[in-house]
Amino acid sequence: MTPTNQRYTTTVLLLFCACAAVAQTAAPGAPEIRATLLGTSPAVGRAGTSTLVEAGPERFLIDAGSGALERLVRAGFLMNPPSKLFITHLHSDHIVGIPDLLLAPWTGPSQRKVPFEVWGPQGTREMMRHFQAAFEFDIHVRRDIDEHISSEGIKVLARDIQEGAVYERNGVKISAFLVDHGPVKPAFGYRIDYAGHSIAFSGDTRPSDNLVKHCQGVDVLIHEVIDEQALRKLVPTEELLKAIVGHHTTPEQAGQVFDRVKPKLAVFSHVIALVDLERVPYSGRMELGEDLMVIDVGEQVRVKRPQANAPLR
């Protein structure tokens, strides 16, 4: 093994063993659906947008922003991180964590032996082909010369999707719906249905009638938000501010969306500048998402906020 490969492997081993005492057994009366907000903001100080969803026997990610793999380790997924990823759109802050998810679980202690599966908008297949090409040397050495790691585990099954049901296995149904992210087309939200319960993700969007239509009846709606007043202090020009805000949803607009959907719980994620919930014109239950927050969806919807420096499982 070359010194470079040895250092990389050592780093991966340390990462995956950081929480080695954490158990992953399901407790009796476990929720039907669990969502763990791995990252909730493209801003400095939080991990990039990514959410782990567990529904029955299925586990998958919605988006893969920066730090997604590290947050999976913090959440307790040491040896078997999910091998399925659903992408809302191809902006870099939603996909920059993909190389980690592709390579580290394959080379590290988990030794992934099944293909990495990816669903996303047009361009997803081509993007994944380029990711594999970018790491062609590393893949070749590890698979064919040095460690002889599973050739199946580094395969990629990528799909360019359209609106509609995109995944149905083990009673879990995942539906993609188009949202309005300005010139970024197509951009999707996702709805997950399992055992009579449901959770939906807006993706990046300005107020969208199509989102409202497809989210009717969900238990939880996880929606993006941007605070124009707070962002104004961070953006250098008024022109750029208007462009950013024009592609996203303000707290006031989000309240109107929530009032039309009426979820049991509305959660803000992809938080661009902190949001004052008092400004949201909605009387239902709301939470401001934070990294490693857990949302359990069953007969009741429960929220677990992370304790500092403590694994969640």
List, for residues 109-132, the tens digit of each pLDDT value: 889 999 999 999 999 999 999 999
Q: Is the dihedral of CA 25, 173, 260, 271 positive or negative?
A: positive
**CB 293 within 8 Å of CB 287:** yes
Alpha carbons within 13 A on the beta-carbon side of 40: 22
Mean pLDDT, the chain, rounded, equals 88
Burial class of residue 14 in the structure, from the number of CB atoms within 10 Å of its CB (0-12 exposed, 13-18 middle, 19+ buried): exposed
**What is the architecture of the domain spanning 3-10+32-295?**
4-Layer Sandwich (3.60)
Write down the pLDDT at residue 308: 63
**CB 115 within 8 Å of CB 156:** yes
Q: How would you classify the pairing of strands 197-201 and 220-226?
A: parallel
Catalytic residues: 93
Write down the pLDDT at residue 146: 96
Beta bridge partners of 117: 84, 157
Write down the pLDDT at residue 41: 86
Q: Where are the domains of the chain?
A: 3-10+32-295
List, for residues 226-245, the tens digit of each pLDDT value: 877 777 777 778 888 788 77
Mean pLDDT of 143-151: 96
**pTM of the predicted protein model:** 0.88
